Amino acid sequence: MNNEGGVVSSAIPLSLLTGGFYLRIIMKNLKIKVPVSWMVRGFIEVEAKTLGEAAEIARSDIAKNGMGLPESEFVKGSYEVDDEAMDVFQSDEVNEEAFKNESIWLDANKGA
């Protein structure tokens, strides 16, 4: 696969019925928004008499809205790509072109 100037060129072998020739498919790269998520863990300091009371204060609206976000660190192993939501965040034009490219790619690779 070759990627030059935003265009992907890929040689795909055709079946033996075509004499072993290659079909060159040229697809333009698309700007695709990939939905990702990860967790962070931070700490807030509250004044309380017990651990349970401290947890309740941390869950309260006052803590969520009034204290700001705590300093935090990335939780290892939590980074994920949401494959099921890939099409949700794209423009109609990007979805249409991406689905067309995928269809061409899948058709060309049948039986490979």
For residue 3, is pLDDT > 70?
no
**pLDDT tens for each residue of 17-36:** 455 555 566 778 888 899 99
Cα torsion 50, 54, 57, 58 to 10°: value is -170
DSSP state letter for 6: T
Q: What are phi and psi of 44, to 5 degrees?
A: -120, 155
> How far is it, in rounded angstroms, from Cα 46 to Cα 53?
9
Token pair, residue 1, equals 């696969």
pTM of the predicted protein model: 0.55
Question: How many Å apart are CA 23 and CA 94, to the nearest integer?
Answer: 24
